[in-house]
């Protein structure tokens, strides 16, 4: 076989093994919200869980989970927040938990649109109720892109907990090239986080529970990781357009998301949004801030900020945003 024919054969083989994406649903403008299900604009049914206080809530939080996780990620925090009169809602994002085709990446656009549609449905239920969008890790990247888009969700503020912002510009050429090659040549290739030595939380009892939870993904297809990196890339580049009122929460012991990309994102935020955007860095915090052993301090800060976006945070963890704003 000639070199040109061999190259053509390789290209065709790679094209036949392109990264998988979930197909869209068959509905058209089908979005609706039931007690335990969110039907997306294209008719996909996503499980919803609600934590509701006694009587009318003082405010509501829409919580977006991270990669491999599902709606129950916010359960412990939501249980505390209900005691303060806050309602919390969370749904399984496409490809995770009990959503269809778990483990198959859905694509950035559907994830971002779902977040906006869900927020609009909650706002329609009670237009006068303060509504906040919370995103943890991957959910933080989704929240950033939703708020930076042409049709941001109608929320009063955004809470970013350890947002996932590690993109290709912070990867070596070898890392990025290997990811791109494997995602196209062997999209099914399984990977997991074992052996990296990185610790997501100091709450080992919680981590063990997650290990036994059948709705938490234990490994990923390499093309799903490829999709996540694309999402993080886009979120990182969206910094100049992220002008929302925001509380950004970071752990000093963060081991999953490098601090460099986070700092660059913070420096890239629009200068005119600085009075509305606040940063808290927790000395005892890891990646899973809302489930770490120090989660109580983080949860109380969230409550205080929701009640008044200008008061000092009870933990004393607030830090000045990096210069660049």
Q: Which residue has the higher pLDDT, 14 or 228?
A: 228
Assess contact for 47 and 99: CB atoms under 8 A. Answer: yes
Residue 61 lies in a domain: yes
Cβ count within 10 A of residue 99: 22
Share of the chain above pLDDT 70, in %: 93
* 103 — pLDDT class (breaks 50, 70, 90): very high
Query: Residue 270's domain is classified under what CATH number?
Result: 3.40.50.1820
The angle subtended at Cα 230 by Cα 229 and Cα 233, nearest 5°, is 85
Task: Provide DSSP, 198-260.
Answer: --S-S-HHHHHHHHT-TTS-S-EEHHHHHHHHHHHHHHHHTGGG--S-EEEEEETT--SS-HH
pLDDT tens-digit profile of 60-89?
999 999 999 999 999 999 999 999 999 999
The residue whose two tokens read 């093994």 is: 17
Residue 69 lies in a domain: yes
Residue 325 lies in a domain: no
What pLDDT is stored for residue 5 in this prediction? 41
Least confident of 135-144, 148-157, 282-291, 316-325: 316-325
Residue 75 lies in a domain: yes
The Cα-based distances of 170 to 182, 229, 258, 259, 287 in angstroms read: 19, 11, 9, 11, 18
pTM: 0.93
**Mean pLDDT of the residues in the chain:** 92
What pLDDT is stored for residue 195 in this prediction? 62
Which domain range does residue 35 map to?
A: 3-319
Residue 324 lies in a domain: no
Residue 307 lies in a domain: yes
* 97 — pLDDT class (breaks 50, 70, 90): very high
Share of the chain above pLDDT 90, in %: 82
Mean pLDDT value across residues 254-269: 94
Residue 55 lies in a domain: yes
What pLDDT is stored for residue 171 in this prediction? 82
- Considering its fold, how many domains does the chain have in total? 1
């Amino acid at each position: 076989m000639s070199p040109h024919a061999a190259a053509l054969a390789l290209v065709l083989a790679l094209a036949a093994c392109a990264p998988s994406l979930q197909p869209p649903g068959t509905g058209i403008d089908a979005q609706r919200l039931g007690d335990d299900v969110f039907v997306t604009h294209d008719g996909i049914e996503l499980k919803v869980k609600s934590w509701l206080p006694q009587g009318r809530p003082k405010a509501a939080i829409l919580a977006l989970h991270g990669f491999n996780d599902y709606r129950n990620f916010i359960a412990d925090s939501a249980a505390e927040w209900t005691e303060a009169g806050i309602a919390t809602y969370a749904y399984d994002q496409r490809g995770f938990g009990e959503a269809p085709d778990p483990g198959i990446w859905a694509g950035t656009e559907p994830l971002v649109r779902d977040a906006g549609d869900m927020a609009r449905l909650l706002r329609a239920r009670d237009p006068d109720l303060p509504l906040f969008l919370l995103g943890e890790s991957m959910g933080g990247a989704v929240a950033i892109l939703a708020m930076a888009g042409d049709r941001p969700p109608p929320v009063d503020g955004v809470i970013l907990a350890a947002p996932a912002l590690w993109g290709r510009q912070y990867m070596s050429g070898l890392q990025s090239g290997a990811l791109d090659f494997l995602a196209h040549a062997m999209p099914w290739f399984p990977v997991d986080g074992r052996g990296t030595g990185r610790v997501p939380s100091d709450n080992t009892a919680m981590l063990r529970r997650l290990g036994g939870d059948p709705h938490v993904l234990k490994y990923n297809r390499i093309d799903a990781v490829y999709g996540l990196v694309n999402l993080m890339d886009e979120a990182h580049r969206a910094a100049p357009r992220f002008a929302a009122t925001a509380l950004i929460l970071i752990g000093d012991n963060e081991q999953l998301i490098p601090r460099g990309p986070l700092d660059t994102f913070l420096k890239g935020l629009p200068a005119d949004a600085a009075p509305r955007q606040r940063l808290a860095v927790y000395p005892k915090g890891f990646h899973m801030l809302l489930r770490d052993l120090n989660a109580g301090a983080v949860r109380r800060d969230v409550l205080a900020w929701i009640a008044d976006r200008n008061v000092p945070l009870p933990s004393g963890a607030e830090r000045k945003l990096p210069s660049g704003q």
